Amino acid sequence: MKTIRSASILFAIAAFGVSITAQGRITGKVADVIDGRTVTIDNGGRMIKAEIRYIEVPEPEQKLSSTVREHLEKLTLGKMVEFRPHGFAGDKVFGQLFIGDLDIAVQMLRDGAAWHVPADRSGQGREESETYNQNQVLALLEKRGVWGISGLKPAWEFRAEKAERTRLASVEKKPSSAPVNSDQAISDASRKRPARAAGFWSDTNPWLTNPGPLMNGYNAASKTGYVGTSFMTVKEQEGQPLDQKTAVDVTYLYKQTEGKGREGSFVMTVVSTAGQERFLKANNITVIVDEKNYPVSKPKRTMTNEGGKIVEKLTYEMNKATIEKIVFGGEVFVKIGDYMFYPTSGFQLLLYNMLQVAG
């Protein structure tokens, strides 16, 4: 499939009459910057509209839209670039833009001029996605660009809310030709309410500043909430079976007190998918920082069989001091039974941001 896809891209480029290198890469000078992630490349007199993949920038109606476009202009206008195409959409090609060894998308993220599109939405490779996310987290911690404006939502969320408002407006204008019973009236009324996430955690915490890439939710009635990293895969040890996968999430569960901040606890969840049980007999967790061991309490363990694979879920409660050791330690490892992994720098930065929420 990969070969077919690459061949299709090269065929499409050739059909447009574009000169490319032997590796299927477009070279040329940036002649124009259309928006915060789209440029026009002069490829030997042929103008190619190229969109940078894996990032999104503020929509025209959002704050910083023109500022981000000007930033991309300063980075690229009039400079020789290399564009690595991944595919086509309408009249433009999309892919990755480089000036020398500099990935422009990474620079935009580091400068706070863009949001990183999560890998589960974009299909980006794990290692590259982690690099992108690490640069985004650095911008977040420094409150650069889009992270310096409270309430500025990622472009995909802004578009979704805009589309929902349009849909609701059309529902309100649509005349009803048939009688409606009371149950139907209640259903219609609920659809006309402002769109928001469903469920227990669907409220907004007015005392919580922008948590950036951390997952979050709040319940106004109970004044409880959470922020979490979402599950991130870890690098498996050498010699482990190829079908063995491990993912880790850390979540801070808290009680909000008006005027007194937040009080809560940290929970680490480890999920393993493998051909056999890995953590039945030995599942105590130890955080190792600069060769010093810091044991953590025993976990709650559940196990299911999904499609012939054993899925184990281990849940550990951790104190703030242990999280701080993971974030600020030099050489950090996490050991579960005989299995060991190390947190990536991107994971540590997310935990740092979580500590700021915890206060």
pLDDT per residue as tens digits for the range 194-248: 333 446 778 888 888 767 677 888 888 888 888 888 877 776 666 677 778 888 8
Q: What percent of the chain has pLDDT over 90?
A: 24
Closest CA to 354 of 269, 256, 250: 250
Between these two residues, 22 and 301, which has the higher pLDDT value? 301
**pLDDT value of residue 199:** 65
Q: What would the 3-class secondary structure string for the chain be?
A: CHHHHHHHHHHHHHHCCCCCCCCCCEEEEEEEEEECCEEEEEECCEEEEEEECCEECCCCCCCCHHHHHHHHHHHHCCCEEEEEEEEEECCEEEEEEEECCEEHHHHHHHCCCCEECCHHHHCCCHHHHHHHHHHHHHHHHCCCHHHHCCCCCCHHHHHHHHHHHHHHHHHHHCCCCCCCCHHHHHHHHHHHCCCCCCCCCEECCCCCCCCCCCEEEEECCCCEEEEECCCEECCCCCCCCCCCEEEEEEEEEEEEECCCEEEEEEEEEEEEEECCCCCCCCCCEEEEECCEEEECCCCEEEEEEECCEEEEEEEEEECHHHHHHHHHCCCEEEEECCEEECCCHHHHHHHHHHHHHHC
Residue pair 145/177 in contact (Cβ under 8 Å)? The answer is no
How large is the average pLDDT for residues 336-350?
75
Let me know if 263 is exposed, middle or buried by CB neighbors in 10 A (0-12, 13-18, 19+): exposed
Judged against a pLDDT cut of 50, whether residue 58 lies above it is answered with yes
Answer yes or no: is pLDDT of 127 > 90: no
Q: pLDDT value at position 191?
A: 39
Q: Which residue has the higher pLDDT, 358 or 82?
A: 82
pLDDT at res. 106? 96
- What would the mean pLDDT of 75-98 be, rounded to a whole number? 89
As given in the structure block, the two tokens for residue 204 are: 């907004």
Which one is predicted more confidently, 272 or 90? 272
Residue 38, φ and ψ in degrees, nearest 5: -130, 130
From CA 194, how far away is CA 222, in angstroms rounded?
A: 22
Given a cut of 50, whether residue 70 has pLDDT beyond it is yes
Question: Stretch 169-194: mean pLDDT, rounded?
Answer: 47
**Please, what are the domains in the chain?**
2-148 (2.40.50.90), 215-358 (no CATH)
pLDDT band at 174 (very low <50, low <70, confident <90, very high): low
pLDDT at 62 over 90: yes
pLDDT of residue 306: 81
Neighbours of 256 (CB within 10 A): 20
Q: What's the token pair of residue 346?
A: 């991107």
84-118 b/e (C-beta count within 10 Å ≥ 16 → b): bbbebeeeebbbbbbeeeebbbbbbbbbbbbbbbb
Banded model confidence at residue 328, pLDDT cuts 50, 70, 90: confident
Tokens found for residue 237? 């040890």
Structure tokens at 115: 């949001």
Look up residue 226 and give its amino acid: Y
For residue 111, give Cα distances in angstroms to 81, 105, 118, 135, 272.
19, 10, 18, 8, 35
Q: What is the mean pLDDT of the chain?
A: 80
Strand 92-99 and strand 46-52: the pairing is parallel
Position 83 pLDDT exceeds 90: yes
Tens digit of each residue's pLDDT (9 = 90 or more) over 268-281:
888 888 888 888 88
Cα separation, 333 vs 309, whole angstroms:
27
pLDDT at 235: 66
User: d(Cα 153, Cα 324) in Å, to the nearest integer?
Assistant: 29
| pLDDT of amino acid 350 | 79
Higher pLDDT, 80 or 298: 80
**For residues 303 and 277, is the Cβ–Cβ distance under 8 A?**
yes
**Stretch 114-136: mean pLDDT:** 87
What pLDDT was estimated at residue 148?
92
pLDDT of residue 10: 44
Does 181 have pLDDT greater than 50? no
| The pair of three-digit structure tokens given for residue 197, joined into one six-digit string | 């996430």
Closest CA to 98 of 85, 112, 116: 85
In this predicted structure, what is the pLDDT of residue 24?
64
Lowest mean pLDDT: which of 80-94, 177-191, 325-339?
A: 177-191
